[in-house]
């Protein structure tokens, strides 16, 4: 594992008020004699200084640590991005950060376990990545209001993802919140309860990935193990605080509880941006009986937020090289205040992906034949890519153009085919093809392009 794990073990005794962790890792290409990995450690405490004390031993300046967001007087979330090479192994690691904030389910000392299976998989011919998800450190709901929290989970390898409450040794005291039920599909449900159950709860969950077919995992040295569809591979923690607040005057969204308005993206939306462009996400919300005061977020490193007035927010993110091709889970809630009470909207999460620009190398002209929808072959000569990019298509019959290019992506053909297809289609249209083209991903990895007959 990367060297910073030793640092965590050495300083795990630091005192702080803990608000949880979300961990994930993604395995990239084989470079310099090993597979490269990016790890995402987002840990939350009652203040940013406590993160620095626990994670960095008092000085985070040499480390790639970023502030994600903070709710002053409650929590601060920072993320450490670790990048390095890995060995083809499978190991478990246990961490004991510090004490939780005081909570109703009586959990004092925090504890979480990482079980990371980085062995080479027979189905993708490389090590797999862990499930990807996210959540803000503190989710709140009035005691008289129904609330469902649907975690947005994804898996770069197309595995089956399941959620559950943690059990020892994945936690120290493992008592789950009595007011919150979790399903294997990663949905949490809260039903109205009485005032005696109001207060904060420590939530300790585990996300696991399971192969969708029987596969073989091979480690350094040649040892191997067969995994079936009932065998978990990775186990990663999701830990956060769930607070039951005093009853609200009304549970109708848009009155005291903020309601999202267009053009706020829907929960689960997939948003792509080019690697050199800044992505802006517009969030609007209203609460007619309260004042919408702030948006709280948990997203990729480097994300920022701003407000242009009550209920109007902009989230901004510029990807860096290590973000290219990765799905980043971006979560947010809007908070409103009325007579000293705080109300939260639903948790909303989207997937953001940075895609690299096509190669700027100019290919030689090529001649190729592609089928049209009328099954009559159309032979065309493709000019260099730079010519296509700067040309304007003239009105008239539509023709199929052929691009001699290679497309590389970390998206899965099995689970992300629609996203891949849309990205390719957008690029072909930008380069001069008609908007009515139809794309089909073939099992060979090739792309078949057809257009309506003139």
pLDDT digits (tens, 9 = 90+) for 54-95: 888 889 988 899 999 999 889 999 999 999 999 999 999 999
Indicate the DSSP class of residue 420. Answer: H
* Alpha carbons 316 and 279: distance in angstroms, whole number: 6
- What does the pLDDT average to over 271-279? 89
- What does the pLDDT average to over 207-219? 98
Strands 65-71 and 160-165: unpaired
For residues 409 and 156, the answer to whether their CB atoms sit within 8 Å is no
Q: Who contacts 394 (Cβ-Cβ below 8 Å, separation ≥6)?
A: none
For 9, 10, 94, 110, the CA distances from 6, given in Å and listed in that order, are: 5, 6, 12, 18
Give the pTM: 0.77
- What does the pLDDT average to over 224-245? 98
78 closest CA partner among 43, 38, 112, 39: 43
pLDDT at 372: 29
Cis peptide bond prior to 263, omega within 30° of 0: yes
Local structure of 235: helix, strand or coil: strand
Strands 438-441 and 447-450: antiparallel
Q: Which residue has the tokens 């994300």?
A: 303
pLDDT at 7: 38
Q: Which residue has the tokens 């109300």?
A: 343
What is the percentage of the chain residues whose pLDDT exceeds 70?
76
pLDDT at 441: 63
Alpha helices per DSSP H over 86-183? none
What's the start-to-end Cα distance of the chain, in Å? 58
Q: Which residue has the tokens 């200084």?
A: 49
More confident residue, 429 or 47: 47
Q: Who contacts 173 (Cβ-Cβ below 8 Å, separation ≥6)?
A: 106, 107, 108, 109
Q: Who contacts 313 (Cβ-Cβ below 8 Å, separation ≥6)?
A: 282, 283, 284, 285, 295, 305, 306, 307, 334
Three-state secondary structure string covering 61-111: CCCCEEEEEEECCCEEEEEEEEEEEECCCEEEEEECCCEECCCCCCCCECC
pLDDT at 305: 97
- What does the pLDDT average to over 193-201? 98
- What does the pLDDT average to over 323-350? 95
List the structure tokens of 322: 């290590």
Q: How confident is the model at residue 443 (pLDDT cuts 50, 70, 90)?
A: low
More confident residue, 191 or 439: 191
pLDDT at 73: 86
Q: Which residue has the tokens 């998800």?
A: 133
C-alpha torsion angle, residues 159, 162, 166, 169 (rounded to 10): -30
pLDDT at 391: 30
> Is residue 2 pLDDT above 60, yes or no?
no
pLDDT in tens, 139-159: 999 999 999 999 999 999 999
pLDDT in tens, 104-113: 999 999 999 9
More confident residue, 450 or 37: 37
Q: How confident is the model at residue 260 (pLDDT cuts 50, 70, 90)?
A: very high
> Is residue 279 pLDDT above 50, yes or no?
yes
In the chain the domains, ranked by start, together with CATH numbers, are 1-124+135-241 (no CATH), 248-357 (2.60.40.10), 366-450 (no CATH)
What phi, psi does 364 have (nearest 5°)?
A: -70, 155
* Alpha carbons 1 and 12: distance in angstroms, whole number: 17
For residues 305 and 295, the answer to whether their CB atoms sit within 8 Å is yes
Neighbouring CB atoms inside 10 A of 193's CB total 15
pLDDT in tens, 381-398: 222 222 223 333 333 333
* Alpha carbons 332 and 328: distance in angstroms, whole number: 13
pLDDT at 195: 97
pLDDT in tens, 406-423: 455 555 565 666 667 666
What is the percentage of the chain residues whose pLDDT exceeds 90?
67
């Amino acid at each position: 594992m990367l060297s910073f794990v030793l640092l965590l073990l050495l300083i795990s005794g630091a005192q702080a008020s803990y608000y949880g962790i979300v961990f994930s890792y993604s395995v990239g290409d084989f470079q310099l004699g090993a597979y490269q990995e990016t790890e995402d450690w987002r840990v939350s405490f009652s203040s940013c200084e406590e993160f620095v004390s626990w994670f960095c031993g008092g000085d985070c300046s040499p480390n790639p640590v970023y502030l994600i967001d903070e709710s002053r007087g409650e929590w601060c979330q920072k993320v450490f991005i670790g990048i390095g090479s890995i060995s083809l192994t499978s190991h478990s690691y246990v961490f004991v950060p510090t004490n939780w904030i005081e909570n109703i389910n009586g959990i004092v000392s925090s504890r979480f376990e990482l079980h990371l299976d980085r062995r080479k998989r027979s189905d993708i011919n490389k090590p797999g990545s862990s499930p990807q998800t996210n959540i803000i450190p503190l989710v709140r709901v009035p005691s008289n209001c129904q609330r469902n929290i649907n975690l947005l989970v994804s898996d770069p390898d197309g595995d089956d993802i399941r959620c559950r409450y943690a059990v020892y040794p994945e936690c120290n005291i493992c008592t789950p919140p009595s007011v919150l039920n979790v399903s294997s599909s990663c949905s949490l449900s809260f039903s109205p309860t009485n005032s005696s159950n109001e207060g904060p709860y420590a939530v300790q969950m585990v996300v696991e990935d399971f192969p969708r077919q029987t596969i073989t995992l091979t480690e350094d040295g040649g040892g191997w193990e067969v995994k079936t569809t009932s065998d978990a591979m990775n186990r990663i923690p999701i830990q956060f605080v769930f607070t039951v607040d005093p009853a609200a005057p009304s549970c109708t969204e848009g009155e005291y509880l903020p309601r999202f308005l267009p053009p706020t993206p829907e929960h689960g939306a997939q948003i792509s941006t080019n690697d050199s462009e800044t992505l802006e996400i517009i969030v609007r919300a209203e609460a007619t009986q309260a004042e919408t005061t702030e948006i709280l977020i948990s997203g990729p490193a480097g994300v920022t937020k701003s407000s242009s007035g009550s209920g109007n927010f902009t989230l901004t993110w510029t990807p860096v090289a290590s973000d290219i091709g990765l799905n980043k889970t971006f979560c947010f809630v809007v908070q409103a205040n009325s007579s000293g009470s705080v109300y939260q909207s639903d948790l909303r999460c989207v997937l953001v992906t940075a895609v690299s620009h096509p190669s700027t190398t100019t290919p030689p002209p090529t001649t190729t034949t592609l089928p049209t929808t009328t099954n009559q072959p159309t032979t065309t000569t493709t000019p260099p890519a730079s010519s296509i990019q700067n040309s304007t298509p003239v009105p008239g019959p539509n023709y199929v153009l052929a691009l001699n290019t290679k497309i590389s992506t970390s998206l899965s053909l099995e689970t992300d085919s629609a996203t891949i297809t849309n990205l390719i289609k957008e690029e072909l249209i930008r380069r001069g093809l008609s908007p009515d083209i139809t794309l089909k991903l073939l099992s060979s990895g090739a792309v078949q392009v057809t257009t309506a007959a003139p």
